[in-house]
Amino acid sequence: MAANLQSVLDNTLPGLGYELVDFEMGEKGLLRIFIDKDGGVTIDDCVAVSNHLLRLFMVENIPHERLEVSSPGLDRLIKKPADFERFAGEMVKVKLRLPLPDRRRNLIGKLLGLVDDQVVIDVTGEVLKLPLASIDRVRIEPQF
């Protein structure tokens, strides 16, 4: 189901002018979809995408009880290889699956990019290369 849903979203959202950031299938049939676009996502964008997807899911027979469409927020998840290049220079929070030898599992630093399937970040002057497979998640760390 998730592979079919991924394919439907990947083929539909760009045509509507949106990027699929992520989706989650939650409890009790909740399907949550995170979208983005240049200039940010408004409530009207979420409503338009939700209405379009509700009709599409009926046609494609994609089961769900409830659908939520929202922006990824200021602490946007970074997942795709293109995201690592797009957001290079931003401060990010990295959560590792297993701790580093010095026992750190959560890191905050400047994203330098993705090189050979390794996320490169600068943590207070220390440049770390972290294999993608060792990372649980990477999120933008909003700066105020």
Give the span between the Cα atoms of 19 and 21, in whole angstroms. Answer: 6
Domains in the chain, CATH or no CATH each: 2-70 (3.30.300), 77-140 (2.30.30.100)
Query: What was the pLDDT predicted at 28?
Result: 86
**How many Å separate Cα 55 from the centre of its chain?**
24
* 48-96 pLDDT per residue, tens: 999 999 999 999 888 889 999 999 999 999 988 889 999 999 999 999 9
* 91-112 pLDDT per residue, tens: 999 999 999 899 999 999 999 9
What does pLDDT average to over the chain?
93
Give the span between the Cα atoms of 82 and 101, in whole angstroms. Answer: 29
**DSSP-assigned letter for residue 28:** G
Q: How many other C-beta atoms can be found within 10 angstroms of the C-beta atom of residue 13? A: 21
Query: What was the pLDDT predicted at 86?
Result: 92
pTM of the model: 0.80
Specify the higher pLDDT residue, 122 or 61: 122
C-alpha closest to that of 86 among 104, 100, 72:
72
Whether residue 113 is predicted with pLDDT greater than 80 in this model: the reply is yes
